[in-house]
Amino acid sequence: MNGLRRPRVLIVLAHFDETRNPRGRPDFIPQGMGHVFLAGAFNRERVDVQIYSEFHSGPLIDQAAFCEQDMLVLTGVTAAFDRMRHLTAYIRTKSPGCVVVAGGPAARNLPVSSAECFDYVCDGDVEQMQDVVRAVFGEWAASEQLLPRFDLINWGGPVNYVETSRYCNFKCSFCALTGERRHYHSYDLDYIEAQIRGARPNKYVLFIDNNFYGNNRDFFLAKLELIRSLWRQGLFLGWIALVTGDFFKDPRNLELVRQAGCLGIFSGVESLSEAQLKRYQKKQNLVVPQLDAIRNSLKAGIAFQYGLMFDPSTQTLETMNAELNFITGERTIPLPAFLSLAIPLLGTPLFHESLAGNRFLPSAKLRDMDGFTLMTRPLDSLDDAAVFARQLARLDGHRSRILYHCLGFYMSYRRSLSGRQMAHLLANSLRLAVPSIIHRRRLEKEAAGEASLTYVTTTQPLGPLYTPAFPVSEKFRGHFAPTMITDASGLLDEKLARDLEARRLPVRRATRVGAREAG
């Protein structure tokens, strides 16, 4: 330690909101937690750590936040890479000596571009942050055990977030985890218990694993026994987790999780089409008929949530609208928690398939990989597909069907679900029917200087975040140029091609890459 003051570290979860929301989404569940886990790499007594989530609180544009910082740590999904560059320009302007560290999917998928922008690039797991802390500040600044810093969270809400495993044992073609080629593994029980005991009391727990069920049944059962014990001790009110389709193969699993305090599960349905599931390589959803899995969960007293995903480049509008009509008319299953377009994320099989098939639209931007902007050529006309994308998030045209669905769903499960579970599922349905229409239109109008959104990457405006919020040094103005997927003719962008080539190389350890000297 320098003897004058403790090092100051700012950790930011970078984010672009697809609705151009200038105020964040404090009420959304789940929240991103990467910055909270990264904060656990620093010694609590010797380093002054602040965290900020742009997903929760909106874009970080306060000049004071970037002043007198010794380290800026950035993480975020791949589409947030440009936002990480913006934040780097701000910190280098206000704190010229600050060390910038970047990790997460964005840094992993864009190793060359990251090396040109950041001082340290981490392409490993969260524990790698401890190595960087030791290299920059010294052994004294690193924590002995990496536990999430729940004490730094500045939001309330009814939910704590805990992780019991990492990655996934399935290889869906659209999933970023498939592209990263990491192996699924579970944490030890002591670490899981430490997280739960360190979280805020009198809350629900959301297990943010990509696959809570996993591929080791003995460990799954041991984990449930621990969770049941801690739940009975009153450490939390109940819990929710994400499970894969193979969870439903054993009918005993629903009763086991219910006895351990489970109130709800989320499972990636993605599509009700068997052909589309096979196209997505989502074989785990073919183990048990998906509608049976949903109904069995609800009858067992477990709330069921799911997402649906549509791919206009491989599905016709007629097919996709037929699925929406079925969902809104089938009152024995809840409406989806979210709807999205398939995103051809960098490095995934879907990305390479889209690239090889010349599906990407001209002037496709990384920033637009948000699930609501068309990135690839649709089977139907581009104008018609854009209308579908615009209507997708709020299910325009289905309001009366949704209201009738609410009544039918309530009548179907009023005896098996608790009042709280039913209220949550019906609130999601009503959000699709009414509030999101008002909310989304208001957000679109509030985006300062924003042209109308087109929902097509070629013409979709970048948005106000690509204009610096305050003056930055001229040598960092290039940080506000968008990262391109394709050029104006639809060919792969040359800079991205460098990153894709480098991405094929073996995973490296975090190293100082000399970005400051490169300007």
- Same-domain pairing of 13 and 142: yes
What is the pLDDT at residue 428?
80
**In a domain? residue 251:** yes
pLDDT classification of 448: cutoffs 50, 70, 90: very low
Q: What is the rounded CA–CA span in Å between residue 506 and residue 181?
A: 11
pTM higher than 0.85, yes or no? yes
Look at 397 and 254; give whichever has higher pLDDT. 254
Q: What is the rounded CA–CA span in Å between residue 492 and residue 275?
A: 29
**In a domain? residue 483:** yes
Helix (H, G, I), strand (E, B) or coil at 1: coil
- Same-domain pairing of 229 and 115: no
**In a domain? residue 509:** no
CA-CA-CA-CA dihedral for 452, 357, 315, 179, to nearest 10: -80
**In a domain? residue 476:** yes
- Same-domain pairing of 177 and 137: no
What is the pLDDT at residue 254?
97
State phi, psi for 297 to the nearest 5 degrees.
-65, -50
- Same-domain pairing of 242 and 373: no
- Same-domain pairing of 90 and 38: yes
pLDDT classification of 433: cutoffs 50, 70, 90: low
- Same-domain pairing of 108 and 22: yes
10 Å CB burial of residue 157 (0-12, 13-18, 19+) is middle
- Same-domain pairing of 139 and 189: no
**In a domain? residue 180:** yes
pLDDT classification of 429: cutoffs 50, 70, 90: confident
Q: What is the mean pLDDT of residues 358-385?
A: 97
Q: DSSP class of residue 210?
A: S
Is a pLDDT exceeding 60 seen at residue 43?
yes
Who's near 22: CB < 8 A, 6+ residues apart? 58, 59, 443, 446, 447, 448
Which amino acid is located at 446 in the chain?
A: E
User: End of a domain among 147, 175, 194?
Assistant: 147
- Same-domain pairing of 181 and 59: no
Query: How confident is the model over 148-182, as pLDDT tens digits?
Result: 999 999 888 899 999 999 999 999 999 998 888 88
Q: What is the rounded CA–CA span in Å between residue 218 and residue 134?
A: 37
- Same-domain pairing of 430 and 497: yes
Is a pLDDT exceeding 60 seen at residue 442?
no
State the angle between helix axes of 317-329 and 399-413 in degrees (0 to 180), rounded to the nearest 10: 40
| Domain housing 84 | 8-147
Helix (H, G, I), strand (E, B) or coil at 13: strand
Query: How confident is the model over 477-517, as pLDDT tens digits?
Result: 999 999 999 999 999 999 999 999 987 644 344 455 555 43
Is a pLDDT exceeding 60 seen at residue 249?
yes
Contact of 290 with 278, CB cutoff 8 Å: no
**Number of independent structural domains in the chain:** 3
Contact of 361 with 376, CB cutoff 8 Å: yes
- CATH number of the domain within which 182 lies: 3.20.20.70
Q: What is the rounded CA–CA span in Å between residue 406 and residue 84?
A: 41
Q: What is the mean pLDDT of residues 132-157?
A: 93
- Same-domain pairing of 247 and 139: no
User: End of a domain among 310, 340, 355?
Assistant: 310
User: End of a domain among 282, 310, 338?
Assistant: 310
What is the pLDDT at residue 508?
41
Query: How confident is the model over 5-35, as pLDDT tens digits?
Result: 899 999 999 999 887 888 898 888 899 999 9
Question: CA distances (Å), 44 to each of 9, 20, 146, 149, in order?
Answer: 12, 35, 11, 9
Range list of H helices, 61-151: 81-94, 105-109, 111-117, 128-136
- Same-domain pairing of 162 and 264: yes
- Same-domain pairing of 374 and 412: yes
Closest CA to 460 of 386, 398, 388: 386
What is the pLDDT at residue 451?
52
**In a domain? residue 323:** no
- CATH number of the domain within which 137 lies: 3.40.50
**In a domain? residue 1:** no
Contact of 107 with 513, CB cutoff 8 Å: no
The rounded mean pLDDT for the chain is: 90
**In a domain? residue 97:** yes
